[in-house]
Chains A and B, each alone.
Chain A
Amino acid sequence: MSRQPYVRPISKTTWYMRNGRYKIYMLREMTSFLVVFYTFLTIVALSTLAADSPAAWQNFISSQQGPGMVVFHALALLYFLFFQTFPWFKLAPKAMPVQIGEKKLPGSYIVIGHYVAWVFISAVIFWLAGAL
């Protein structure tokens, strides 16, 4: 047989280094670590409430303070915004396009809608938390 198709090797572990598009994708996917972290952090906070102990809550709050934590949370916030929240909004119109009559609603409208809702929801959360 004269044919001998050549299969270019592809690294199963480092393929995403090949271009910027893939790297950004990997950074996006790794926001899941942050989600795990903050979810369990919140669950720990809940456990102190469940224990019905103001002291435990206070301990928890104190344990979260300090310059190290400030830097960590600040970076986490930026990372999360740029690699989870904003991309998610950007991609939303793809998953759920809206068509009115013959015309597709421009994706940008849906994206803007998401930002508006996000600002609103965040405001409600801050208000509930008494930070506003």
Chain B
Amino acid sequence: MAIAKKAVVWGLFAGGGTLTAFIYPALIALFLLIATGNVPAGLQYEQIHTFAASWVGKAVLFIVLFLSLWHAAHRLRVVAHDFGIRKDKLIANAVYLVATLGTLMTAFYLISIS
């Protein structure tokens, strides 16, 4: 017997969970600010573009989005299971595919920002 590959996705899940717990409240709060019409200065096009174009910015954004995607993907797989959907293989393929797509999109957009 050997350690299942789940070890890998679980690692991403745990890392992503910690990250979202720390960061997503602030992220949601920013969207809330935007929704109220008080767009903060840092979220003006110039500033945010500069940030996303920097290597640090790219790295931060990539890690956050990547881990969050995989965190959510793994949890959704469990949620499906908990709701009684017992096609685990299919569900796993679906959620991880979406996470992969999201990851690729993130990478593609980040690379294109210059």
Contact surface of A with B, Cβ cutoff 8 Å: 11-14, 16, 26, 29-36, 38-43, 46-47, 49-50, 52, 54, 57-58, 61, 64-66, 69-70, 72-74, 76-77, 80-81, 84-85, 88-89, 92, 95, 117-118, 121-122, 125-126, 128-131
Chain B's nearest CB lies how many Å from the CB of A3?
Answer: 29
Instruction: Mark interface residues in B80-114 (1 if CB within 8 Å of A CB, else 0).
Output: 00111010000000000010001001101110110
Q: Are B42 and A129 in contact (CB under 8 A)?
A: yes
Q: How large is the interface on B (under 10, 10 to 19, 20 to 34, 35 or more residues)?
A: 35 or more
Question: Which B residue sits closest to A47, measured CB to CB?
Answer: B109
Contact status of A129 and B106, CB under 8 A, knowing A49-B52, A84-B24? no
Q: Are A84 and B32 in contact (CB under 8 A)?
A: no
Q: Are B30 and A129 in contact (CB under 8 A)?
A: yes
- Hey, which chain B residues are within 8 Å of A29, CB to CB? 75, 78-79, 82
Chain B's nearest CB lies how many Å from the CB of A95?
Answer: 8
Which residues of B from 7 to 59 have beta carbons under 8 Å from A? 14, 16-18, 20-37, 39-43, 45, 47-49, 51-52
Chain A's nearest CB lies how many Å from the CB of B77?
Answer: 9
- Hey, which chain B residues are within 8 Å of A65, CB to CB? 34-37
